[in-house]
Structure 1
Amino acid sequence: EYKDRTYYLIDGKNPLTYTLPSKHTRKYPLVWFDADKGYERELRYATNQNSIFVDEQQGQVTLQHIVFEMGMLMVPKEKRNLQEFLSKHPHRSLLFAEYDKIEEAVDEVEDLQIQLIAMNAAMEMDPDFAEAILRVELGSKVSELTSKELKRDLLLFAKNQPNLFIEIANDENVQLRNVAIRARENNIIKLSGDNRIFSWASNDRKLMTVPFDENPYSAMAAWFKTDEGVEVFKSIEKKLK
């Protein structure tokens, strides 16, 4: 298609300038496999040649640097050989890509849809679940938030990191882990100094031993789903209300 094209460095790279290899060398091999001919052909960008293939170029060649500025390179439709060279360049899709308005728009719509799903979920979420999710991000500071602050921070989290928000919201252990943390904060249960044993705070009766090298609250969340742990969980929930 005969049109102006824009290229960009991928992975968010935007150095002041970046020079793309424009001729074949041992350090930067520039070859393209020609399926019609059945072999690899050497590439070279020369401003005074109609072809980008070395075996089709004739006479003295005029080479020119291909320079991305601030991560971008705009190539007008008149420079068709440069556009073809970039389309066959071995670094395409590895170091740079062509900007596609339709593709970008599709990606943006998908991002907005995910953000909308996350924010709608945040709006409908009950306070206990909201606290459980924010505790993953903010830790013990969640306990100091007012209900308005909790809702605000939850919505901001859903807006700014929708994928992570949805992932945490779908983690069945998040609420269980939050109950364990709140129980310790409210002195219903206690955790030994070595983070290995949970006990009732009232009588020091041992509840469970944390497996070696596991997060204690994640371990207790899993334990809450056992036959013995379910009864303890119900008791803790009553005490927290």
Structure 2
Amino acid sequence: MEKTNKKHTAKAVETVEQIVETPKVEKDIWEIKDRLYYLTHDYAPLTYTLPSRHTRRFPLLWFDPKEGKQKEIRHASNQNSPFVEEQKGECTMEHIIFKDGTLFVPKEKQALQKLLSIYHPQLNKRYEEKDDVKEAVDDLEYLEYEFQALALSRELDIDHAEAILRTEVGSEVNKMSSKELKRDLLVFAKNNPTLFLQLANDENIQLRNTAVKATEERIITLSQDQRTFSWASNGKKLMKVPFEENPYSAFAAFLKTDEGVEVFKSIEKKLK
């Protein structure tokens, strides 16, 4: 009797161990809910018909990585699957129509939702699905950039502010008072925080500003073909602009070289 019990116990333990070793549970990430789709690039005609069946002109195919083959898709309102091979009986074909740039699909139309949210080749090209979570993340990211930009704009000195604004308004900065510069810098930081931060952290921007000011005040000259910088006083060539480079960006890079450092010091003295 004892031997029999031991055998049964061993089998029971063996079975439990097998169950613990293979707890494979696949999570279904598809959420049953109403969904809203909208056309991209601010494209919003009164009506827009998205291709809803496979044709030579508008192929509707989706590659299934598990089965290793292309699957034809189409929208049939009386079917539970967007895949042609899984649709049975007579199919009721239906157009997919966006009105004023949007398309609302209720949760009851699961086949259409999956066709639009997963399989359609025009997804994220001609149209997108509204994603409140993603939009909230994007909004938060934008607000963080805006906060950083506004905080930094208050710390920059006048010369740095002038250098940044010159990229936006050109020589108009020469007519601005320090208060006007600060005001416009704050407005720029608020309206375009990402670009503002890029410019503020560009180590060459103040050197470019120096080059532009020196040109405006006839300390240096830039040839008509935008290829050569020279001293205005004697015409001596300072540098040749590399092909297809912005002349002021090239001159800013030149000012950081051993030869350019001396030129920069001379320009700064004359600007004062």
TM-score (norm 1): 0.87
C-alpha contact 2:242 2:250 (8 A) present in aligned 1:
no
Give me the CA root mean square deviation.
2.3
Partner of 2:148: 117
Q: In structure 2, what is the Cα distance between the partners aligned to 1:57 and 1:215?
A: 60
> Of residues 196, 199, 224 in structure 1, which corresponds to 2:231?
199
Identity %: 54
Distance 1:212 1:116, change over 3 A: same
Partner of 2:53: 23
For 2:108, what is the secondary structure of its paired residue?
Answer: coil
User: Following superposition of structure 1 onto structure 2, how do residues 227-238 of structure 1 map, counting pairs within 5 Å?
Assistant: 227-238=258-269
Partner of 1:56: 86
Distance 1:89 1:199, change over 3 A: same
Matched, 1:224 2:255: yes
Letter in 1 for 2:88: Q
Partner of 2:161: 130
> Of residues 186, 189, 192 in structure 2, which corresponds to 1:155?
186
Structure 1, residues 149-188: CA drift from partner, whole Å, max 9, x if none?
A: 211221222222222222222222211121122223334x
Q: In structure 2, what is the Cα distance between the partners aligned to 1:35 and 1:217?
A: 51
Q: In structure 1, what is the Cα distance between the partners aligned to 2:255 and 2:68?
A: 64
Matched, 1:89 2:120: yes
Q: In structure 2, what is the Cα distance between the partners aligned to 1:74 and 1:164?
A: 35
Structure with more contact order per residue of length (Cα contacts < 8 Å, sep ≥ 6): 1
**Runs of 5+ unmatched residues, structure 2:** 1-30
Q: In structure 1, what is the Cα distance between the partners aligned to 2:69 and 2:266?
A: 74
Q: In structure 1, what is the Cα distance between the partners aligned to 2:165 and 2:112?
A: 51
Shift of 1:72: 1.4
C-alpha contact 1:48 1:61 (8 A) present in aligned 2:
yes
TM-score (norm 2): 0.78
Letter in 1 for 2:74: R
Q: In structure 2, what is the Cα distance between the partners aligned to 1:215 and 1:32?
A: 45
Q: In structure 1, what is the Cα distance between the partners aligned to 2:208 and 2:39?
A: 42
The total of aligned residue pairs comes to: 238
C-alpha contact 1:200 1:207 (8 A) present in aligned 2:
no
Shift of 1:126: 0.4
Q: In structure 2, what is the Cα distance between the partners aligned to 1:21 and 1:145?
A: 55
Larger Rg: 2
For 1:28, what is the secondary structure of its paired residue?
Answer: coil
Partner of 2:44: 14
Structure 1, residues 214-237: CA drift from partner, whole Å, max 9, x if none?
A: 544333322222223212322332
For 1:217, what is the secondary structure of its paired residue?
Answer: helix
